[in-house]
Chain A
Amino acid sequence: MPHHPRIALALLALGAVFLAVFPLWGDTFYIRFIARIMIFALFAMSLDLLVGYAGLVSLGHAAFFGLAVYVVAGLVNKAGVTSAFVLLPAALGAAAIAAAAIGWISIRTTGVYFIMITLALAQMVYYFFHDQKEWGGTDGMNIDSKPTVMLGDLKLFDFYDRVQFYYLALGCLVAAFVLLTVILRSPFGHTLVGIRANEGRMRALGYDVQRYKLIAFVIAGTLAGLAGFLEAARATFATPAHLGWHESGHVLMIVILGGMGTLFGPILGAFVMLLMEDYFATLTERWLLIMGVFVILVVMLLPDGIAGVLRRVGRLGRRGAGDG
């Protein structure tokens, strides 16, 4: 049951229209760049289900994202499979199974334990790929081909066409938004939020708390896998950095910057964060220094993120209208 402030809804509608028509006149560089931002928005949104709604602060979310990238890379390079009809289910399936396994171990704990354990287990996946020399080790490897979508001899979709890919990423983002909204408005979503608010009470009411947490963890992991599949198709490159904890921290930062517990927050966060990174990277080679300062400022001054600012602006607006 995401509760969206009216100003955010207006912004969201405006943003959706903008994104839908952008390729009509947009510069090719930005068409590609926004496709990348939308992939990260999807990735961050999947994490928000855990952090913002279920109260599970995972610091290992990149494991599912990166695993999907490596599954695509492995199938394309080692098995010569390029059909998206195989690659997509394989990537999602691998992410879901990994999420079920990691989730099963980590949901037994809460709080700071949960943070440390998701981090450590994700690093295990990281080192697994990091140690495989024939998979490129630390350097990673190029993926030989983008996925293909063929029906007989008919090409249904071209991953090499940047406008088609742009709309695919947008479609996935919108679909995930709708799916998560439906999930959160269902009894399942209400139970999840209830668990975050008071786990003991939910347990006393007879809810199988662990099962709800695990299901949320698997849904989030699978959606991260979808983002990973898109990233593999976009970048045609797989590296251990896709799985590492820096990436997990990065996506967590996107969620907080946008505002956790709101599905639109991670989208805003992804746009602001990635546009800023891109801008600072043009200024200096040491742009991560600026991002570090930025991260600290956001944590100290904007704990509710951009969504929190919008909510405050919205409240001010309403109060002003009421007075008049």
Chain B
Amino acid sequence: MSLSYFLIQTLNGVQYGFLLFLVASGLTLVFGIMGVINLAHGAFYMVGAYLAWWFAEQTGSFVLALLLSLPVTVLLGLATERFAIRYLYARDHLYQVLFTYGLILILNELQRLLFGNDVHGLPIPAPLAGSIPLTEAQSYPIYRIFLSFTCIAVAAALYLLIQRTRLGMVIRAGSTHREMVSALGFDIARLFMVVFGLGVALAAFAGMIAAPVNTVYPGMGDHILIISFVVVVIGGIGSIKGAFVGAMVVGIADTFGRVLLPTGAGVVVYAVMALVLLWRPQGLFGRTV
């Protein structure tokens, strides 16, 4: 393996890791704060990608497509919480699993009904379409670098929102002392609705910005969901920091797994997860199990 090839693969792994972090942070946020396990998280990723593709087809502009699809997915998330998830907080995780499983069936079928079974490509917006040459033969696409920086920006914004704002403070308090926050006069129901909407938006946004590199296809949410679970389990459920480390571990392990072990590529990340769990059953940054 030449150095530049190694470098490109590392960049690819890190970029995939950033994208996984974006998806997994939404999953871990919703679980850590609301105690809800959301299997439909991957389906929302798919919804985001399909909306971005469809709006881009209609308007001819990727940026406009992002601006139009983001509010739609946020509304979808808020509505899901308001009309369904809200009634499942007190129930066993089992019912949250099954409810969101039903939601996946519905979203997957609606996608096929509305957009068909074809794979769709989304052109990379013109200013970001080039690549940076590394050697005479190899180069690295600018869009992938843009993708990484967008993920970093969103992660930073998320960190500031949770750690530095008043809303974030109330959210953090609500995750551990729900009744007390409610007794102090905060509308905890609305707060949780916002958190769920934020979680859905993170998944959908990841789907949107990844669409130009990963294409848009039926069932695309399933794979990302399982991989996000692996990320969250490695990092520790409910920990944003853990999601970041887990995403990097999985992104790099998966990328190099594909290069070094082509026939067993799918298994590599799960083997890494199993090893981490044998060592720390609660994940790298998890609190108690």
Binding site for B on A (CB under 8 A): 51, 57, 59, 105, 108-113, 115-117, 119-121, 123-124, 127-128, 130-133, 245-246, 249, 252-253, 256, 286, 288-289, 291-296, 298-300, 303
Contacts and interface: CB of A to CB of B under 8 A. Distances in A.
A292 B226 contact: no
A295 B97 contact: no
Interface string B72-89: 000000000000100110
A131 B226 contact: no
B247 interface: no
A291 B101 CA distance: 11
Contacts of A59: 97
B171 interface: no
B230 interface: yes
Contacts of A127: 266-267, 270
A292 B98 contact: no
Given A113-B237, A115-B97, A131 B265 contact: yes
Contact of A108 (B88, B97, B106, B281): B281
Given A57-B97, A249-B98, 20 more contacts: A51-B94, A57-B92, A109-B282, A111-B93, A113-B281, A113-B282, A113-B289, A116-B233, A119-B226, A124-B270, A127-B270, A130-B266, A256-B98, A286-B112, A289-B109, A291-B102, A291-B105, A295-B98, A295-B105, A303-B95
A198 to B, nearest CB: 16
B277 A300 contact: no
Contacts of B266: 124, 127-128, 130-131
B99 A296 contact: yes
Given A105-B274, A121-B274, A112 B31 contact: yes
Contact of B267 (A128, A246, A286): A128
A131 B95 CA distance: 32
A112 B99 contact: no
Contacts of A245: 222, 226
A112 B37 contact: yes
A112 B267 contact: no
9 contacts: A116-B229, A117-B277, A124-B267, A127-B266, A252-B94, A252-B101, A253-B98, A256-B95, A298-B98
